[in-house]
Structure 1
Amino acid sequence: MSAIRSTAAGGSNRALRWLAGWSLPVALLVAMQLAAGQPGAPRYVVAPTDIAATTWELLASGELIRDAMASGVRSYSGFFMGAALGVAIGLLSAVWQQARAFFDPLVSTLYPVPKVALLPVIITWLGFGDVSKIALITLAVFFPTFINTLYGARATPVSLIWAARNMGAGPAYIFRRVIFPAALPQIFTGLRSGLALSFIVLFAAEMVGSHDGLGDMVVRAEEAMRYDWMYTAILAIGLMGFASDRILLAIRRRLLADKYPGEARDG
């Protein structure tokens, strides 16, 4: 009976969390639906039903899919390259003092600089094509991934390293079986931050010198005063980011089930 009550309570708590999470978005949609078309309402207040109809039209024409695919290629390319560099250099800096002495001051200096502010410089070097956009996204993803990887690896308990050494483990084994697993939770924290930044920077980069992509769709919508197009593009990139984050969380949950048991139960 206690197990049944516990299961029922867990289901009730999940339902309450779900309702709490969706209450504000639903209220906002209702308010927009009621306000749209009213006298004096701004043109950018568009009824959600009109946004849904426009989204369906753009999907049927293939325009939304083409722009979403172009944005996805840029965002994921930059994310994977930035994440790979951040994890690799972060781990290297954690175990090699000379690398840390080189990269740590450099990252500390450049990290506070808004990456979008570097877009004109990167465009000057690499042009208006996809290479400049992917390079900017790579740079944005690198910093949080590097920092979290570095400090996650350096936070490895010394007692674990000593225990491995006392049992005859070499440096490579200690790195592979002690330091890297200990750093994984922090690495995933950096990856989640980098993933969000990849979409933020993508949107800004595509609004300059692009001929496709969801950011370019926003620019075209603004020029044509088609705010329903604009909301469709924003919704599309939000859904892409949400789906990507859920996939990353699923990977983390699978690899680190012992460290995130609550996520495993909720999933």
Structure 2
Amino acid sequence: MTSRPNNNNALRWVAGLALPVALLLAMQLTSGQEGMPRYVVAPTDIGATLWQLLVSGELVSDAVASAYRSYSGFLLGAAFGVGLGLLSAVWRQAEAFFDPLVSTLYPVPKIALLPVIITWLGFGDVSKVVLIALAVFFPTFINTLYGARATPVSLVWAARNMGAGRFYIFRRVVLPAALPQIFTGLRSGLALSFVVLFAAEMVGSNDGLGDMIIRAEEAMRYDWMYAAILTIGLLGFLSDRVLLVIRRKLLANKYPGEAARS
């Protein structure tokens, strides 16, 4: 009886790995063949280049620079998104002020704002962090706002009938009810922070994984390019896993079903 779920999990893993393994095998077999483009690089060559860049320290320094920008922008955007989203959920005047701004600016590609931000803040890390923060702000704000507004009215009235004040209701009823949706926004914002990071580092940057990809493309070193792309993917994957662990711990007591899906 207990082996059936394990077998299903194993089948899902195999199904999920089938396409990536087939793609890697095809790249390995066709790399260097006549008529194949130069960007088809053997995975073994990519692995060797990745190891060389790690040993030399170049990949580590670029990864640290990119991680600093991405995490700084994520934390800044998430703080403002969650904070203002909760404020707008409990204060109608704040919602009336922020809702038109968010509705207007959310569809705008954030990378389109990079020239304006660079004009204001220069080519340094500040402009990149601000751009990432803007990208993170919108999904966290929207998910937080609607998560808090979805709090069951019966819970609020029950707390009021027992004499609870507004701050207590916010802290013990509204905020816990909004947590699942808040984490949905945080995961979306975290993914966007790495997407925007690459675009931000393409302009006026002397380090970082995005800059490494551009330099590799100019030098036609596609093995370097793939190594940098893999590093960005690994950073994003590990960051998402950490966020899921935090989510699971915070929701375990209040939302066992939600935590189990993490």
TM-score by length of 1: 0.95
Measured on the aligned residues, the alpha-carbon RMSD in Å equals: 1.2
Offset of residue 140 of structure 1: 0.4
Q: Would you say 1:232 and 2:230 are equivalent positions?
A: no
Q: Say which of 3, 23, 30 aligns to 1:28.
A: 23
Q: Say which of 7, 18, 25 aligns to 1:12.
A: 7
Q: Which amino acid aligns with 1:162?
A: W
Offset of residue 259 of structure 1: 2.8
Q: Say which of 249, 255, 261 aligns to 1:259.
A: 255
Q: Would you say 1:209 and 2:204 are equivalent positions?
A: yes
Aligned residue-pair number:
261
Q: Which amino acid aligns with 2:150?
A: A
Structure 2 residue aligned with 1:79: 74
**Worse-matched range after superposition: 180-189 or 15-24:** 15-24
Structure 2 residue aligned with 1:99: 94
Q: Which amino acid aligns with 1:175?
A: F
Q: Give deviations 1:194-227, integer Å, cap 9, x for gaps.
A: 0000000000000111000000000100111000
Following the alignment from structure 2 to structure 1, what is the Cα–Cα distance between the partners of residues 163 and 94?
26
Q: Give deviations 1:4-25, integer Å, cap 9, x for gaps.
A: x1x2122112111111111111
Structure 1 residue aligned with 2:154: 159
Offset of residue 263 of structure 1: 5.6
Where structure 2 has 5 or more consecutive residues not aligned to the other structure, the ranges are: none
Structure 1 residue aligned with 2:43: 48
Q: Say which of 118, 121, 131 aligns to 1:123.
A: 118
Following the alignment from structure 1 to structure 2, what is the Cα–Cα distance between the partners of residues 245 and 25?
20
Q: Would you say 1:187 and 2:175 are equivalent positions?
A: no
1:45 match: secondary structure? coil
Q: Which amino acid aligns with 1:55?
A: L
Q: Say which of 208, 214, 239 aligns to 1:219.
A: 214
Q: Give deviations 1:160-179, integer Å, cap 9, x for gaps.
A: 10010011110000000000
Question: Is the 2:251–2:259 Cα contact (8 Å) retained in structure 1?
Answer: no
TM-score by length of 2: 0.97
Question: Is the 2:251–2:258 Cα contact (8 Å) retained in structure 1?
Answer: no
Q: Say which of 243, 246, 257 aligns to 1:248.
A: 243
Question: Is the 2:137–2:189 Cα contact (8 Å) retained in structure 1?
Answer: yes
Q: Give deviations 1:26-48, integer Å, cap 9, x for gaps.
A: 11100111110111000000000
Going from structure 1 to structure 2, the CA distance change for 1:85 and 1:229 (only over 3 Å counts) comes to: same
Q: Say which of 124, 143, 147 aligns to 2:138.
A: 143
Q: Give deviations 1:126-158, integer Å, cap 9, x for gaps.
A: 000000000000000000000000000001010
**Which runs of structure 1 show a deviation greater than 4 angstroms over 4 or more consecutive aligned residues?**
none
Following the alignment from structure 2 to structure 1, what is the Cα–Cα distance between the partners of residues 205 and 15?
39
Identical amino acids, percent of aligned pairs: 77
